[in-house]
Amino acid sequence: MNDLLANAGIFAWPLGLCSVLAVFIILERLFALRKNRVLPDDMEEDFVRGEIPQVGEEQSVAGRIIQFYQNPNHDSEQLKAFTRLQITGMERGLFILEIVVSAAPLLGLLGTVTGLVKVFAQISPETGLPDPSAFVEGVAMALTTTVIGLSIAIPALAFDRYLNRRIDTYTAQIGVGVERLVADKARQNKRA
């Protein structure tokens, strides 16, 4: 492992930063997007049955939306805007993961090019061959940075897609619930 980092040269630092950011965002979003933190089963079942769930001091996304709905001083557009705000909160930090997915392989490619430049810069004009130690060092940097960059980007990409899919699913489910709340609000307004 130390050889791997040593071979990456100066590129070990930005690649290490990408790795730390990716792990942090993935773990934080996996924790924040648990089912009971977004749309608990009992609320989902109430929405499917067409009922408005009762909530107390609910800390889930759906619970906050229902609490907003229960406030009598709002209309359906305000409810939809509040819902969009809650959905945006579920996406918090994912842009950093997208940056890591893009930056890590590019940093690896930059390391590859830098390593190859090192190799060709050490070619002796007399023999036309590179210095053996510079050759080994340059090729090691080229290959190592590519491997590290791709090793960071591939899992980050997989988790980015997984987390975005999870958010899309929650958004659709919450959207059904909000439509029920809007319809209920319209019925209340007709009665009044």
Say which residues have a Cβ less than 8 Å from residue 69's Cβ, sequence separation at least 6.
Answer: 52, 79, 181, 185
CB atoms under 10 Å from CB of 92, counted, come to 12
66-76 residue pLDDT tens: 888 888 777 88
* pLDDT for 152: 95
Question: Domain spans of the chain?
Answer: 2-191
Q: Which amino acid is at 115?
A: G
Continuous segment of H or E residues that includes residue 59? none
Give me the chain's average pLDDT, please.
87
Q: For helices 132-191 and 61-70, what crossing angle results, to 10°?
A: 30
Distance, CA of 26 to CA of 106 (rounded, Å): 21
* pLDDT for 160: 97
pLDDT of 26 higher than 70:
yes
* pLDDT for 50: 66
105-147 residue pLDDT tens: 999 999 889 888 888 887 777 777 777 787 888 788 888 899 9
Residues in the chain, how many? 192
